[in-house]
Structure 1
Amino acid sequence: MNERAGTPAAESDLVDVPALIEAYFEKQPDVSVPEQRVVFGTSGHRGSSLNTAFNEHHIAATTQAIVEYRAGQGITGPLFIGSDTHALSHPAQTTALKVLVGNDVRVLVDEFDDFVPTPSLSHAILKYNNSGAEEQADGIVVTPSHNPPADGGFKYNPPHGGPADSDATSWIANRANEIIANGMVDVQMAEPSAVETYDFRTNYVDDLATIINMDAIRESGIRIGADPLGGASVSYWQAIADKYNLNLTVVNPDVDPTWRFMTLDWDGKIRMDPSSSFAMASVLAHKDEYDILTGNDADADRHGIVTPDAGLMNPNHFLAVAIDYLYRNRSGWDQGAKIGKTLVSSSIIDRVADSLGRTLWEVPVGFKWFVPGLIDGSVGFGGEESAGASFLRLDGTVWTTDKDGILLCLLAAEILAVTGKTPSELYRELTEKFGDPVYERVDAAATKAQKAALGKLDGAAITATELAGDPIVAKLSTAPGNGAPVGGVKVVTENAWFAARPSGTEDVYKIYAESFRGAEHLKQVQAEAKLIVDAALGG
């Protein structure tokens, strides 16, 4: 924990934007250096131009690889492209446009040259592909999500509208690195003199009445504060307030690529994480001025919910409340629609699902796993512990197949408007029924070899029979919902669980743990989790 966590950013914390842009164009990556290669994580390729990890060659080569990938998949419709408010996003989108136009791809950009939230782009892809068009559309979102201001990000969304799966991203990354290694000779570029436009904002905002009870929110008159945290949702929130005549205030409409108005996150970095009380400290100062106060990250795929009685809600807590509310108030959903959660989300969701008589669908980390179920309506809600979720429209059809932070913030307002209780009050009621779990994620040191071994570890390799005094009832290396590898292990007892997964960026592995027996028991679970994992890894 940095001693300045939660305090306002100082001038010395701010990125040098001109230097960042200059490095984007001037520095050329050497893909023989691992840190300078194109690498797609769960949310695309990310890095800083200052470290030669996100530069013009990366984006040109990656876009060319996407062009070749979509051609190989028979994707011949338009490609929607949008970007967030990070300093590197605009130059990266410009580079991508040149490559797309140079390859004769029909590309659509925002009609008003506005920023485009991730959920708005997913919504646009699905709307086009559900319109009866013969050709399928796909898209690119230029965003590193909640990453610090010096970072850039580049993400591909195929025709299903959600994050691309690892088969696609591996092919694209490998081809991009090959293009860079070959001196960029395969990249075709042209100046985008006239590009088609699309009104992302109006299409998204006008459609919200098909998924949220906007009438209830308006009629209740509740005071809503929405803080975009300097991100892509800034003009969306004002448009929502105007369209639906809501008592909604955009708390901070400023956009600044240095994010000088932010408070520092836990590690002393500027990070637009709406689930962090440190990053949200300036927002929390307004909690008593509104009945519901919300925050979004830079591309608006994550949500933060603040209530007067509890402050910033733990994302797991809000997910549990959202699920309980939705499945009791969405009569248009299929009665068999499952509840989707990642396997590192709170087990109170399991108990809520059981009380609702609904099937829990537990999948590995990554929103991509929810995509098929959201498309066919077999999953009503898909949520991640990291404050990302989406759900079905009122009639049970698909809304987005990527995380939608704007949507979840509006749901918090609907919950208060309909029930008369804040989501935090409703969570306390859930804990009275199901217990009050304590949840935390910690890191443990690991070598690259140990991380590789953990990623492939079979639950059967764990010899322990007890965890913190309780018999172990499950040792999972594949997800119960879909049988997909979890990239680590999850160990479960009646009263607690832990999951261990290798970090993709640091020499640590992550231990997620939860106990229904309190904080001291959680510490015991965490300590024994490390011993169990280290023993399985031969450490």
Structure 2
Amino acid sequence: MAHPRAGQPAQPEDLVDLPHLVTAYYTLEPDPDDVAQQVVFGTSGHRGSALDGAFNQNHILAISQAIVEYRAQQGTTGPLFIGRDTHGLSEPAWVSALEVLAGNDVVAVVDSRDRYTPTPAISHAIVTYNRGRTEALADGIVVTPSHNPPPDGGFKYNPPHGGPADTAVTNAIAKRANEILRDGGSAVQRVPFARALRAAQRHDYLGAYVDDLPNVVDIAAIREAGVRIGADPLGGASVDYWAEIAERHRLELTVVNPLVDATWRFMTLDHDGKIRMDCSSPDAMAGLIATMIGTPDRYQIATGNDADADRHGIVTPDEGLLNPNHFLAVAIEYLYTHRPSWPAGIAVGKTAVSSSIIDRVVAGLGRRLVEVPVGFKWFVDGLINGTIGFGGEESAGRRFCAATARCGPPTRTASSWLCWPPRSWPSPVPRRRSGTRRWLPNTVRRRTRGSTRPPIGSRKRAWPSCRPTR
């Protein structure tokens, strides 16, 4: 049962005490024999709260040292790109990590603007640096607990492929980190922060990422359509990026809420009464949904991000928060019918808990479906080696292989949702309906009279009858 205040604005009693939280990070020492206080990598990184003894300085020192040792064993001798999100524990953990990296003579690369860095920007930096290289490869660290509540911290490692580390990697790092904790941290090599910061290199994560966007997204199509876009960072690391994207690429895009506050006092409560930056939750996204429905002429489409901006939710004036599974289905169909250069055997990836409508769409395309456990890391190998063309999960994270040379021209996966309708249309979301064939019947709207582009579903194909599962 949902919390009675789910979807309602946070109150003072809901807010984390930031000074108390940061003090706990530095002063509480985890018990290495307590399972709840050990280093454990979940679907993406080690997460926990300093208040519970699950994310404290000793954890980060141990994990950072374990990463240093692991990358040395793997022969990863290039720079390490490191960034942080807007959580209250992220900067303290970022400082601790830099001290260890410098203490081990690892070249850390920090943001030249001394600002927040989304996970995709770190991945982009790693992939860009390593392209064409076979040695001295780079890797990265992102200090973020993703969408988790304000008291939480998170720490994740990205190997040279740029994506999240797989289980074999994280198990090795966690095992070594826990050994270091049990040994009282004697293996940790660190230097004072001032020295570590002087040793770090600078990189314009934002500029490099925004400049490269037109190579993977048809920005020109979005700009020419003149669609009014609202982007809500939900107080996360994407706040500077959306503003720069709008300015540099001349889009009608407005940052709905540019506030950054580590208490997230401006959020609405999630289903369980906690503050959580979950862009797939209608309760956490209630503020943006209310803006879209209450002022339908303000934006034609809006998006919200989690704190490290590797997930997003889509909101339209007439539908509210779109079901991520429905968007995944449309995106899959669009990509696989607009990439003639893709090999016939390239598969579609989905997580085990995603809707079966994706299975039906993939069957209609005549493509192979690869089902994996929850966690985007399970898609990485397939995306890198080209056996999977698209991987997505119902938590509103997705990735396609358009960043590689084999995948063809800039994708319209994102831009097709933004450039499809003229300004006068009530929704930019296409509807799939052709004769008796229908899928996503109540979630997306078909293109209407006056269009110059064919609707997404206009091509002739013997589609199975598909209805969204509940």
Shorter-chain-normalised TM-score: which range? 0.7 to 0.9
TM-superposed CA distance for 1:429, in Å, is 7.2
1:310·1:424 contact (CA, 8 Å) conserved in 2?
A: no
Which residue matches 1:506? none
TM-superposed CA distance for 1:78, in Å, is 0.8
TM-superposed CA distance for 1:310, in Å, is 0.6
Which residue matches 1:320? 329
1:334·1:396 contact (CA, 8 Å) conserved in 2?
A: no
Give deviations 1:22-41, integer Å, cap 9, x for gaps: 11001111111111111111
Secondary structure at the counterpart of residue 230 of structure 2: strand
Which residue matches 2:389? 380
Which residue matches 2:169? 168
Q: For structure 1, which segment, 161-170 or 350-359, has the greater mean C-alpha deviation from structure 2 after superposition?
A: 350-359
Q: Map residues 75-90 of structure 1 onto 2, 5 A cutoff.
A: 75-90=76-91
TM-superposed CA distance for 1:394, in Å, is 7.2
Q: Map residues 86-165 of structure 1 onto 2, 5 A cutoff.
A: 86-132=87-133, 134-165=135-166
CA distance in 2, matches of 1:414, 1:162: 25
TM-superposed CA distance for 1:397, in Å, is 4.4
Q: Map residues 327-342 of structure 1 onto 2, 5 A cutoff.
A: 327-342=336-351
Q: Structure 1 311/427 Cα, relative in aligned 2: closer, same or farther at 3 Å?
A: farther
Determine whether 1:217 maps to 2:222: yes
TM-superposed CA distance for 1:339, in Å, is 1.3
CA distance in 2, matches of 1:368, 1:430: 39
Which residue matches 1:58? 59
CA distance in 2, matches of 1:245, 1:39: 43
CA distance in 2, matches of 1:413, 1:311: 19
CA distance in 2, matches of 1:517, 1:120: 33
Which residue matches 1:190? 191
Which residue matches 2:37? 36
Determine whether 1:205 maps to 2:214: no
Q: Structure 1 431/219 Cα, relative in aligned 2: closer, same or farther at 3 Å?
A: farther
CA distance in 2, matches of 1:180, 1:87: 23
Which residue matches 1:362? 371
Determine whether 1:303 maps to 2:312: yes
2:333·2:361 contact (CA, 8 Å) conserved in 1?
A: yes
1:168 is matched by which residue type in structure 2?
V
2:259 is matched by which residue type in structure 1?
D
Candidates 224, 227, 235, aligned match of 1:230: 235
Q: For structure 1, which segment, 196-205 or 427-436, has the greater mean C-alpha deviation from structure 2 after superposition?
A: 427-436
Aligned length: 437
Q: Structure 1 238/411 Cα, relative in aligned 2: closer, same or farther at 3 Å?
A: farther
CA distance in 2, matches of 1:430, 1:227: 37
Q: Structure 1 167/262 Cα, relative in aligned 2: closer, same or farther at 3 Å?
A: same
Secondary structure at the counterpart of residue 180 of structure 2: helix
1:330 is matched by which residue type in structure 2?
R
TM-superposed CA distance for 1:357, in Å, is 2.6
Q: For structure 1, which segment, 53-62 or 383-392, has the greater mean C-alpha deviation from structure 2 after superposition?
A: 383-392
Which residue matches 2:72? 71
Candidates 242, 258, 261, aligned match of 1:256: 261
Q: For structure 1, which segment, 420-429 or 13-22, has the greater mean C-alpha deviation from structure 2 after superposition?
A: 420-429
Secondary structure at the counterpart of residue 157 of structure 2: strand
Q: Structure 1 152/352 Cα, relative in aligned 2: closer, same or farther at 3 Å?
A: same
Which residue matches 1:415? 417
CA distance in 2, matches of 1:395, 1:59: 33
CA distance in 1, matches of 2:310, 2:10: 24
CA distance in 2, matches of 1:17, 1:429: 55
Q: Structure 1 120/250 Cα, relative in aligned 2: closer, same or farther at 3 Å?
A: same
TM-score by length of structure 1 reads 0.77
CA distance in 1, matches of 2:371, 2:442: 18
CA distance in 2, matches of 1:6, 1:263: 5
Give deviations 1:355-396, integer Å, cap 9, x for gaps: 223222222222112112211332211001111101122775
Candidates 256, 279, 296, aligned match of 1:274: 279
1:374·1:398 contact (CA, 8 Å) conserved in 2?
A: no
2:248 is matched by which residue type in structure 1?
K
CA distance in 2, matches of 1:172, 1:430: 55
Q: For structure 1, which segment, 419-428 or 235-244, has the greater mean C-alpha deviation from structure 2 after superposition?
A: 419-428
2:44·2:377 contact (CA, 8 Å) conserved in 1?
A: no
Q: Structure 1 83/354 Cα, relative in aligned 2: closer, same or farther at 3 Å?
A: same
CA distance in 2, matches of 1:58, 1:38: 7
TM-superposed CA distance for 1:314, in Å, is 0.9
1:143·1:299 contact (CA, 8 Å) conserved in 2?
A: yes
1:340·1:370 contact (CA, 8 Å) conserved in 2?
A: yes
1:59·1:96 contact (CA, 8 Å) conserved in 2?
A: yes
Give deviations 1:218-250, integer Å, cap 9, x for gaps: 000000000000000000001111111000000
Give deviations 1:25-81, integer Å, cap 9, x for gaps: 011111111111111111110000011110000000010011111111111111110
Give % identity.
59
CA distance in 1, matches of 2:329, 2:401: 16
2:329·2:358 contact (CA, 8 Å) conserved in 1?
A: yes
Q: For structure 1, which segment, 27-36 or 254-263, has the greater mean C-alpha deviation from structure 2 after superposition?
A: 27-36
RMSD between aligned residues? 2.5
CA distance in 1, matches of 2:113, 2:407: 26
CA distance in 2, matches of 1:429, 1:283: 32
1:6·1:263 contact (CA, 8 Å) conserved in 2?
A: yes
2:421·2:428 contact (CA, 8 Å) conserved in 1?
A: no
2:268·2:287 contact (CA, 8 Å) conserved in 1?
A: yes
Q: For structure 1, which segment, 151-160 or 355-364, has the greater mean C-alpha deviation from structure 2 after superposition?
A: 355-364
- Which structure is richer in relative contact order (CA contacts within 8 A, separation 6 or more)? 2
TM-superposed CA distance for 1:427, in Å, is 5.7
TM-superposed CA distance for 1:516, in Å, is 5.5
Secondary structure at the counterpart of residue 438 of structure 2: helix
Q: Structure 1 156/398 Cα, relative in aligned 2: closer, same or farther at 3 Å?
A: farther
Secondary structure at the counterpart of residue 61 of structure 1: helix
Secondary structure at the counterpart of residue 207 of structure 2: helix
1:9·1:262 contact (CA, 8 Å) conserved in 2?
A: yes
Q: Structure 1 427/342 Cα, relative in aligned 2: closer, same or farther at 3 Å?
A: farther
TM-score by length of structure 2 reads 0.88
Secondary structure at the counterpart of residue 431 of structure 2: helix
Q: Structure 1 43/28 Cα, relative in aligned 2: closer, same or farther at 3 Å?
A: same
1:81·1:107 contact (CA, 8 Å) conserved in 2?
A: yes
